[in-house]
Structures are given as structure tokens and as C-alpha cells.
Amino acid sequence: MGHILDNESVKLLVKAFMTLENEEECKAFLEDIMTTKEILDISQRFTVAKMLSEQAVYNKIAEETGASTATISRVNRSYSYGTGAYKIALERIEKKN
């Protein structure tokens, strides 16, 4: 994790997420701390990452998610060269299914 995120506020937020025990608690927490638009934007990015992991092409991703090519490109950069968190989360979701 980058040092810019290594502060007490971020640490507290991460700890808060880690206390949530189920989907309902997580959705309620997201609703309390974010706007609906923020939640939808972040969920769109995660869906884009999932589709990229499935080798979908940009046109199909844009059509199915409504994401701009700039957003898809930004997610692809993070997915391909970032911390690996997208891949970890997607792999764990796949294992649970």
C-alpha cells in the first residue's frame, strides 16, 4: 500500500471494514459512508476488473457496464500493474462460488 494511504484515518477505515460480518452489514456501512453515486462508481470499476479478468474487450465492457474507455483503461492499468488487490478479491470470490 502506498505511503499516502498510510495514515490513521485510512487505518481506521480499513479496521471498520474488517469488522463487518456479512453482506447486509457491508451494504449498510457503504450506504452510511458514501453517496449512492460513489458506491455505483466503485462497483462499476470492480465489474470492469472482473470483465478484464475474463479477457473481455473494451467495447463489450463499455456496452455492458456503461463505463467510459478512460475508466476501463484506468482500471486495466490498476488490474495489470497495481497492487494485485483486484486479482486477490476476484480469486477469493470465485473460490467461494
pTM of the model: 0.89
- For the stretch 27-64, pLDDT in tens is 999 999 999 999 999 999 999 999 999 999 999 999 99
At 29, list the grid cell: 456501512
6 residue type, one letter: D
Q: Is the pLDDT of residue 10 over 50?
A: yes
Question: Which amino acid belongs to residue 70?
Answer: A
pLDDT at site 70? 97
Superfamily of domain 35-97: TrpR-like (1.10.1270.10)
Give residue limits of the domains in the chain: 1-33, 35-97
Give, in degrees to the nearest 5, the angle at Cα 38 between 34 and 44.
135
| Band of pLDDT at residue 2, cut at 50, 70 and 90 | low
Label residue 1 by pLDDT band (50, 70, 90).
very low
Q: Is the pLDDT of residue 17 over 70?
A: yes
End-to-end distance of the chain based on CA atoms, in angstroms?
A: 28
Asked if 45 contacts 72 with a C-beta cutoff of 8 angstroms, the reply is no
What's the rounded Cα separation, in Å, for the pair 79 and 54?
12
